[in-house]
Amino acid sequence: MFDDDWVNSVKGAENSWVSAVLEDIHGPGGVYLKCIQRWFAELPGSNKQKNHLKASLKSINNPDHLGAVNELSWWRFLISRGFELEPVPTGKMKTPDFKLKVDKSCVFFEVTTLNPAMNPNCSEINCSQKNGLKRIVAKAYKEKAEQFEYGLRKQCPSVLVLFNYDEWSGLGTSLHTLMDSITLFSTPLPELSAIIYVERFVIGGKPHFKKDTIMIVDNPNARFSLVSDIKLRLVGGGDNEKLIDCENAASLVWNSEAYSDE
């Protein structure tokens, strides 16, 4: 995926995530690329089914790349906790990203990203740092409605997984006050069972989740509830389990010749 042809094609990209990666391609930058490439190879599905995700991962556009990495990271995160998670095939109608098999039931996850606000003084929801909570509600009620309806038709819980990159530092604190679900779910939305708020960051080229900031906000109006066992497995475990670790750091030095674009 990230072979020499790709590296040469993205050199000189400005204001892009690739700049930091290429600056240290034989260190953390290479670790990052190898991690993403490995996860993508392990993700179930045919090449055709994964083409869109692959294109987004390779994109120099920050929102496209972030969204794709977040989707892939959520899959890897749940797999690391022993869940059986598989992508949902796309169709004529919009579908959620993943299906989680739980005994004889299932849970559908739709992964989305709250990108950095464009202007702190802007009054529009999509670009204002001061409208973080409204942007979340807009994601749930407007942008992802069809994905949640898919889960309702299948009679399974649907969950919105929200990765936050909003620059308003008060967002996390504000979300903690919403555990009673009153603000986010002031209007009935039976299709959506819960919102899971997560933060992902990269250390030494390896993506991590912050365990203490994972928040699950239940919808009291949901037709199907998210079972407690799933919640416990998401946030439980020892200190080491709060991190998504690629593998052995010593084996993650980048070598493009060792990889082919399958």
What b/e sequence results for 13-37 when a residue is b if at least 16 CB atoms lie within 10 Å of its CB, and e otherwise? eeebbbeebbeebeebbbbbbbbbb
Which tokens belong to 110?
């739709």
Contacts 24+ apart (CB under 8 A), 119-122: 120/167, 120/168
Which tokens belong to 174?
């504000």
3-state secondary structure of 170: coil
Single-letter residue type at 41 = A
The model's pLDDT over 230-254, given as tens digits with 9 standing for 90+, comes to 777 776 655 555 565 544 444 445 4
Query: How many residues are given for the chain?
Result: 262
Query: How far is it, in rounded angstroms, from Cα 192 to Cα 221?
Result: 8
The model carries a pTM of 0.82
The model's pLDDT over 115-158, given as tens digits with 9 standing for 90+, comes to 665 555 544 444 444 555 666 766 667 778 889 899 999 999 99
Query: How far is it, in rounded angstroms, from Cα 221 to Cα 67?
Result: 28
